[in-house]
Structures are given as C-alpha cells and as structure tokens.
Amino acid sequence: MPAPDKLLIVGGGIAGMALAIGLKRAGIRSELVEINPQWTVSGLGIGLGGPALRALKMIGVLDQCVERGFGYSFFNAADADGNIKGTVQLPRLNGPDYPATIGIMRQALHSILQQAITDTQIPVHLGTTVAALNQDDGGVNVTCTDGRSDRFDLVVGADGANSKIRDMLFGAQWRPKYTGQAVWRATVKRPPEVQSRTSYQGPRNKAGFNPVSDREMYIYLVQNLPDFVRLPDERLCAVLDELLADFGGLIGAARAEINDPKDIAYRPITSVILPPPWYRGRVILIGDAAHTTTPHMAAGAGIAIEDAIVLAELLQSEKTLVRALEAFMTRRFERCRMVVENSFQLGEWEKAPNTPGADPVGVEGQTIRALAQPF
C-alpha cells in the first residue's frame, strides 16, 4: 500500500480535530465528518497536564489554550476538611515560559481547535457519520448517513468511547466497561486563593477542585457506585449536595453555589484498551475509540492528541501505509496501555483503600515520569 493522499476522519472531537490539523501541517489532504450538526461539546472543565500541553504546542495551539485556561505547576492533597497534607511540584515540560499544567473549559478547548480547522480550510461535514465501509486493496469506499459517498486511502475512527467505527471493525465486545465509579463535575466561581488543583480524601469518596479560568473552577467528585444509576436533571443538585456534605474547606463553602443542573455533569466512568493492532486494512482507530481511560491520571486528552500527532508524522515520513500503521502501533500501544491500566488501578484502590500493597502515590509518580518522556 502506498502512503495515503486522501483521508477521512470520523469524529470531530479532540483526537479528530488534532489529527486534521496535524495532517494539514504535514501536507496530507483530509476531511472530517461529525455526527453533531451543531459541532458542540458537552462537559465542563478538563485538566491538561504537561504531556498534553506539549502535544498542543506541536500542532500550534498551546498559546491560545494557556491564554483561555488557568495555568499552574503544583497540586495539593488535602483531608476532607481541606487541610493541606502534601504538595507535589509538576514538571514544566514546555520550559519556564509555560505552566506545568492547565485547567480549561472543554468548550474553550473545543473552540480553539475548531478555529484552527476553519483557518486551514479543512473540509468538515456536520450532522453525518459513516454508515458503511467497503475496503479493497486500493482504498475504502465510504457511504455516509446523509447519502454522500466517496473513496479514501485511509479512514480514521476518532469517534470517541462509543465508537461506531470500532464496532464495525472489531465488534461490540470491545465497548468500554463500567468501572464501578461515577464522576461528578460542577462549575463554580474561583476564589482568589485557588491557584492549583487540590484533591480531598473523604470518608466515602474523593473530591477536589481545578481552576479553569481567572473566574471559574470546577468541583469534581469521584463516587464509588457499584451500579450506575442515571438521574433526572431535577435531582442532580440535591444528590451532589448530599455527596459534598462530607467535605469542608473551599469545597464545603462552594456547595451553596451549585443550584442549577446545567452546571453539573454526571457520568459513568468506563475503561477499555483495545488489543493491537487498532486497524484492519485501511481503517484505524485513535483516541478514546482505541483506549478509553478513567480520569484518575487526567491523561486521556493528552494521549489522544499524541495519537494524532504520531499518526500524521508517520503517514508523512513512511513510504507505505503498512509501514506507517505498524510503526504507529509500536510507538503508541504500550504508552496508552500504561495510562489505561494504571488509571484503572487507581480507581480500584479508591474503591478498596485498605487493599494490601496499594501504592497510589507510587503508581501516579511512575505514570507522570513515563508520560514526561518523548513519545
């Protein structure tokens, strides 16, 4: 298979947009389909560590993200009352002019990547996705749900944890599984004293806050919940209020602000790592479609952007598609497996904190050091 000249990216989230930008910078044609006709994003804040910032710098959008987010270079660990028990300094992977990590609203990150897509005039088709794929030795014939059809050298499934492309390639058995935890996030005002992420260890659950702008932060709570129960919007505030009653300090003070369900995101935590290879013929998966991780290491967005950068680089440098895809798996699988498995293990220890041999600090440190290495 010769190196591809025309790609289709399925999914306009972080991984898909980063890939489109990376391919444009590499001089490779691509177009993107996104099922959401408004091309909006759900969720509230997101933390982007040093590896994610390094990856954003490589596609030319780091400065915009730092400007619209809130940067810091340490995080605190506290007890349930907010008393600081430890501070960890984070490495500045992008040099002294940039923070080690940032918090940013998902909508802000999404709009920055969208603007980069618009500026480079990459074709985007909204309100549609792939309905059928038919491969042969020369390419992939694609039919979209809006009836449009075309032929591509390579199709990239960047359509997230609930990937339809993954189902088409590998079957429903590789859908992410619920881990026994749910995550809550709520946007509140940022008090001036909040200068970094802080985690609180409570009697039932872990919580914390993360600044995402000069004016905002989000509170998060990871709930140990054996069976996930979906809640109607009218119950979200009351349930979160009860869960946060375990905590004092700044989280306790902010509880009164959480009175609108639109400011709350409540999601099941799921996880999966697809065995290699993540491709069949001329169709490949990247990002959450291939490796859905829990939020415990705040690394999911970073490794998704890394996937995009590595794939664009290899498609430009390798002489054949086969060599590019093989090299992609060599560079990406073990790194992504580590993040997924270590993040999952941290969640298991949160559910059973008295497990013999549990070493969350050690696993977190090992993961941070590994992710700081070049990818």
pLDDT per residue as tens digits for the range 22-78 = 999 999 999 999 999 999 988 789 999 999 999 999 999 999 999 999 999 999 999
What is the value of pTM for the model shown?
Answer: 0.95
The token duo for 276 is 């290699």
Q: Which residues lie closer than 8 Å to 254 by C-beta, 6 or more apart?
A: 188, 189, 209, 219
Quick one: pLDDT at residue 3? 72
Quick one: pLDDT at residue 354? 86
Quick one: pLDDT at residue 43? 78
Quick one: pLDDT at residue 42? 81
Burial of 354 per CB tally in 10 Å (0-12, 13-18, 19+)? exposed
What is the location of CATH 3.50.50.60 in the chain? 6-176+271-372
Quick one: pLDDT at residue 44? 87
What is the location of CATH 3.30.70 in the chain? 184-270
One-letter amino acid of 185 = R
The CATH number of domain 184-270, selected from 3.40.50, 3.30.70, 2.60.40, 1.10.287: 3.30.70
Q: Which residue has the tokens 């923070």?
A: 99
pLDDT per residue as tens digits for the range 80-94 = 999 999 998 898 999
Are the CB atoms for 283 and 157 separated by under 8 Å?
A: yes
Of 195, 193, 216, 218, nearest in space to 207 by CA:
218
d(CA 159, CA 194): 35
Q: How many CB atoms lie within 10 A of CB 235?
A: 11
44 or 107, higher pLDDT: 107
For residue 298, pLDDT over 80 is answered with: yes
Q: How many CB atoms lie within 10 A of CB 8?
A: 24
- Phi/psi at 52 (5° precision): -65, -40
The token duo for 128 is 């549609």
The token duo for 323 is 């060599």
Q: Which residue has the tokens 């306009």?
A: 12
pLDDT per residue as tens digits for the range 112-153 = 999 999 999 999 999 999 999 999 989 999 999 999 999 999
What fold, for 6-176+271-372? FAD/NAD(P)-binding domain (3.50.50)
Quick one: pLDDT at residue 4? 81
Quick one: pLDDT at residue 278? 98
The token duo for 42 is 């759900």
In DSSP notation, 107-128 reads HHHHHHHHHHHHHTT--EEES-
For residue 1, pLDDT over 80 is answered with: no
